[in-house]
Structure 1
Amino acid sequence: MTDQPLARHNILVLTTAQALGAASPPIIISLGGLVGQQLSSDPALITLPVSLFNLGLAMGTLPAAYVMRRFGRRSGYLLGAGFGITAGLVAALGIFTASFLVFCLGTFTAGFYAAYVQSYRFAATDAAEGALKAKAISWVMIGGLVAAIIGPQLVIWTRDAFPGTPYAGSFLSQAALALMAIPVLMLLRAPKAARQAEGTRDTGRPLMQILTMPRYMLAVAAGVVSYGLMVFVMTAAPIAMVGHGHSIDHAALGIQWHVLAMFAPSFVTGHLMARFGKERVTAVGLFLIGVSAAVALAGLELAHFWVSLILLGLGWNFGFIGATAMITDCHTPQERGKAQGANDFLVFGTVAAASFFSGTLLHASGWQTINWLIFPAVALILVPLVWQAANTGRASVSSP
């Protein structure tokens, strides 16, 4: 199998795996804070399970990058699925035994699975070239559309599966999704260049040299802000909705619409990047995140929450996928492990911090304060991003 047919094969495999793996975070985000309310005696800790999920994701990025470089993508992804199965079982055990600590351990372990799932987008570009490489990331992210339906619907269908222990069934379903991903991931095939790079000592430029590239720095910063702000708001949103009189089902459906908006644009994001450039698409994403905050500040009706979450999802799609595509322009195949791993560590380390801060701030200052903080963060990255997009021109539109 030559590289381009192989790339298309892997894109299909990774899209399917994404549909299963990306369904876990909506379950944790929808229910983590609500289970926290049920099990924790301290109101300030109710979002801790979600925050620990993001912490596990951040801590798992560098080990995941090492495992995949040493043993290959497929072996790493199978290990990640094992973490996913364990996470769902442990979280369910925490609910059955009414142990907040055990439940938090389960959501933390789920973060290690997510660290592998997040790299599916990079794996899609391993064998791709030309226009296919430019579109591969967004094509794989389309799998998130299915995940956006599976995750929240599983919350609704299974949260009362075990009388007396609400939500335990949802976390058992999370383990089942990871188990289903294993036969799919077995179909992944490594391109020749990746096989040659595995286990070699030639790792290209030093990491510090890559980190100090202006284009790499801006791409990382755009990813940090896009993903960090999204999680900052989404962690607090279900608790805020329930706190302002909306039902749990409405909160879960709000997250579903949000996740649908996160992935639905992936059908066109690759084409938009090829047409207008990665920087311009990323800038539009950041702008939409700012608009989502304005809508949230306009009122507390269900429509305000849902429209804000939809715009937040759209902004994340353009911002994060655009930033990811910018990263792939900044490294060679030999450098991919360190460059991609460092990017994800920085992005998801910030995401973890944002998640911890979100719960504390919601408890202390409320939903409005969370949304007001979005504007300065967006402006900080939007200005240099627009400047670079204007100076890059159409030379940056074509794929590398």
Structure 2
Amino acid sequence: MPITVWGLAIAQALLASGNILLVSVSALIGQQLAEQAWQITLPVACQFAGLIAATLPAAHLMQRLGRKAGFVLGNLFGLLGAWVALQGLLSTSLGLFAAGTFLTGIAIGVGQQYRFAALEACDSGQHARAISLVMAGGILAAVIGPNLAVWSQGWHDDSAYAGAFYGLLGLYVVALLLILLLPLPAAIPLQPGERVRSYGELFRQPLLLAAVASGMIGYGIMVLLMTATPLAMDGHHHDFPATAMVIQWHVLGMFVPSFFTGRLIRRFGTRNVILWGCGALLLSVAVNLSGTGFWHYWWGLLWLGVGWNFTFIGATHLLTFSYRPAEKARVQGINEFLVFSAAALGSLFAGQGVVLLGWSGLNLFAVPWILLVLMLIWRLNTREPVAA
């Protein structure tokens, strides 16, 4: 595997570590700074808004200027966002802190292109493994992010959480230096007269529709049930250490399979791996519906993580067969926009969903969406698709 792919995997790990670090402290800081209850999750909402806002512009910018320029700009947004959020925290300004999380959200949105950049750094036969390797960086993030949130609590005398943003600044500095050193592919200019299909034409392809739906629903359902789990476990009288262990194993279920997902795709085909992902998501729902003991949550969330891994990595690989080189930015950008909009909706609906539907009702709500992906993928040609 080329060194560029390994470098992007490390960059992804640093990005995901910063994301987990933010998730660990943003709501707690919001609780400190908010004057009204609805403002507590404003910083988290602003982070998602920044991520979604960056997806389309980032893809088009990189097609015009190249991956290196785009990733450098993204990390600069991350550095600026961490500094602004720190100033908001120290000055007890919720608005300034939320502005900082919006800017870091932009950096996270730009960083979602790491897995696409990995495809350009290797031969087509290595694409599935390259995507898997970059996503495997999440394993390192699962260790660095939460621990950095704990270790940094003593780094600043005035605030227990200020140290986390010094840590975040450090992560973005290291990622910036790494990106500057990596031999990333240059921008490929469009050929004169080369036609780019409209979104309507592109989405009339069953393959593209299935790929985007797999990414959206796999990610959206994962975020929905993962975010609701702590609330459901608290409602069923599980203590916080038990909840933390369930979430930790869920994160491992999300990223550990990345070490072999690429090989499974190469051996059995992208279509089959996504179908197995749908099966894992349905198995997660079945376990969640079977009881509310600790091991029900543990196994349910573990299978939820595996299902996300297979559907998300499979969808990313499937997407690459749906566009011509000149259409890369258009398709990758709209895919990221739709996938992370679905994730944001899942996160926002999770709390209200537990209240309105209950834990069992929320799981049943997920079933038709998973079956929709299963149907769209099943209808594709059984042979592996060829590049557009």
Shift of 1:241: 4.6
The match for 1:349 among 337, 341, 347 is 341
Q: Secondary structure at the match of 1:165?
A: coil
1:117 maps to 111
Q: 1:296 to 1:97 in 2, by over 3 A?
A: farther
Question: Whole-Å Cα distance in 2 between the matches of residues 357 and 181 of structure 1?
Answer: 33
1:22 equivalent in alignment to 2:16: yes
Superposition map of 1:272-351 within 5 A: 272-351=264-343
Question: Whole-Å Cα distance in 2 between the matches of residues 207 and 218 of structure 1?
Answer: 15
2:249 maps to 257
Query: What's the CA shift string for 1:123-150, capped at 9, x where partnerless?
Result: 1111422321232111221222211211
Shift of 1:77: 0.4
Q: Mark the runs of 5 or more structure 2 residues left unpaired by the alignment.
A: none
1:268 equivalent in alignment to 2:260: yes
Query: What's the CA shift string for 1:69-103, capped at 9, x where partnerless?
Result: 12110111011111222233333334334433333
Question: Whole-Å Cα distance in 2 between the matches of residues 355 and 171 of structure 1?
Answer: 23
Q: 1:329 to 1:141 in 2, by over 3 A?
A: same
Question: Whole-Å Cα distance in 1 between the matches of residues 338 and 328 of structure 2?
Answer: 15
Question: Whole-Å Cα distance in 2 between the matches of residues 160 and 295 of structure 1?
Answer: 40
Question: Whole-Å Cα distance in 2 between the matches of residues 46 and 239 of structure 1?
Answer: 16
2:384 maps to 396
Question: Whole-Å Cα distance in 2 between the matches of residues 116 and 282 of structure 1?
Answer: 25
Q: Secondary structure at the match of 2:120?
A: coil
Question: Whole-Å Cα distance in 2 between the matches of residues 55 and 203 of structure 1?
Answer: 32
8 Å CA contact 2:50, 2:105 repeated in 1: yes
Question: How many residue pairs align between the two structures?
Answer: 388
Q: 1:286 to 1:341 in 2, by over 3 A?
A: same
Q: Supply the AA of the counterpart residue of 1:105.
A: A
Q: Secondary structure at the match of 1:329?
A: coil
Q: Supply the AA of the counterpart residue of 1:315.
A: G
8 Å CA contact 2:320, 2:387 repeated in 1: no
1:4 maps to none
Which is further off, 265-274 or 180-189? Answer: 180-189
Question: Whole-Å Cα distance in 2 between the matches of residues 251 and 38 of structure 1?
Answer: 23
Query: What's the CA shift string for 1:196-248, capped at 9, x where partnerless?
Result: 33798746333432222111011101110011111222333345555665555
1:212 maps to 204
Q: Supply the AA of the counterpart residue of 1:295.
A: V
2:144 maps to 150
Q: Supply the AA of the counterpart residue of 2:130.
A: A
Question: Whole-Å Cα distance in 2 between the matches of residues 11 and 82 of structure 1?
Answer: 21
Q: 1:252 to 1:50 in 2, by over 3 A?
A: farther
Question: Whole-Å Cα distance in 2 between the matches of residues 369 and 343 of structure 1?
Answer: 29
Which is further off, 294-303 or 224-233? Answer: 294-303
Q: Supply the AA of the counterpart residue of 1:311.
A: W
Q: 1:77 to 1:183 in 2, by over 3 A?
A: same
Q: 1:162 to 1:293 in 2, by over 3 A?
A: farther
1:50 maps to 44
Question: Whole-Å Cα distance in 2 between the matches of residues 164 and 364 of structure 1?
Answer: 40
Q: Secondary structure at the match of 1:331?
A: coil
Q: Secondary structure at the match of 2:44?
A: helix
Q: Supply the AA of the counterpart residue of 2:250.
A: H
Shift of 1:254: 4.0
- Of structures 1 and 2, the one with the larger relative CO (CA 8 A, separation 6+) is 1
Q: Supply the AA of the counterpart residue of 2:97.
A: F
What is the RMSD of the two structures over their aligned residues, measured on CA atoms? 2.8
Shift of 1:250: 5.2
Question: Whole-Å Cα distance in 2 between the matches of residues 247 and 100 of structure 1?
Answer: 30
The match for 1:79 among 64, 73, 76 is 73
Shift of 1:195: 3.4
Q: 1:376 to 1:52 in 2, by over 3 A?
A: farther
Shift of 1:271: 0.7
Q: 1:33 to 1:333 in 2, by over 3 A?
A: same
Q: Secondary structure at the match of 1:258?
A: helix
Q: Mark the runs of 5 or more structure 1 residues left unpaired by the alignment.
A: 1-6
